[in-house]
Amino acid sequence: MVAACAVLVLGLSPVFPSHQEVPVTSWAVANRIVVIDPGHGGIDPGAVGYKGSAEKDIVLQVAKQLRSVMTQAGAKVLMTRETDIDLGTPGSGSLLSRKREDLSKRVALANKNGADVYISIHVNAFPSARWRGAQIFYQRGQIESKKLAEAIQSELIRIMGNTTRAAKPEDFFTTRKTKMPAVIVEIGFISNPAEAKLLADPSYQRKLSYAIYSGISKYYVEKTTKK
């Protein structure tokens, strides 16, 4: 695993955090098609937390940061949304049917473009304000998705230094219907005031995006070296 440990410090990089080490293994994501899916949007705010902050806004900001990092590393990035919109058809029916259409179109974007990985970004929320920490979810029974989730989770633990959570299997429409390794990245709890404040901080968002990128790179390095 010498390659996985080699690093290059890019202190002047406009995207990578200046205090972080940038893996030489960015080659691992070069030319990979990465779909980044900022959850919710438009009529669907997602979770609403501390001081009225909305999930849809926070995850879009982090998704754009991640796109910058992945693009700089040579990946081909597709976004399911780049503004505050949902993909459902306005006036097409109930809010539930519009949400189903929205999710179906996100999945279709990834499948039709032959994406290599699907990264859906969300924030968590719970009635109690005590819970905090980023956590990755993957589709139960999907081995490659599990490996991707565990790689990203390990980098979130290493780089963020404020979560000890483990990647966990669940059943979500997007991770079930996509045809490539797919994960739900819950970047923290918007219901925790201290963490909600961090999630709204651009420098913290950059650090999160770097950790997610590093986890994706780790997944591909391990996939390549174990062949």
Cα 14 from Cα 89, distance rounded (Å): 37
Q: Where are the domains of the chain?
A: 28-225
Mean pLDDT of the chain: 90
Cα 39 from Cα 58, distance rounded (Å): 10
- pTM for the structure as a whole: 0.89
pLDDT above 50: residue 11: no
pLDDT above 60: residue 8: no
Q: How confident is the model at residue 227 (pLDDT cuts 50, 70, 90)?
A: low
Pick the CATH number of 28-225 from 3.40.630.40, 3.65.10.10, 3.30.360.10, 3.20.20.450: 3.40.630.40
What is residue 25's three-state secondary structure? Answer: helix
Answer whether 216's CB lies under 8 Å from 34's CB: yes
Cα 29 from Cα 83, distance rounded (Å): 25
Cα 222 from Cα 215, distance rounded (Å): 11
What is residue 90's three-state secondary structure? Answer: coil
Q: How confident is the model at residue 25 (pLDDT cuts 50, 70, 90)?
A: low
* Structure confidence at residue 28 (pLDDT): 93
pLDDT above 60: residue 2: no
Q: How confident is the model at residue 76 (pLDDT cuts 50, 70, 90)?
A: very high
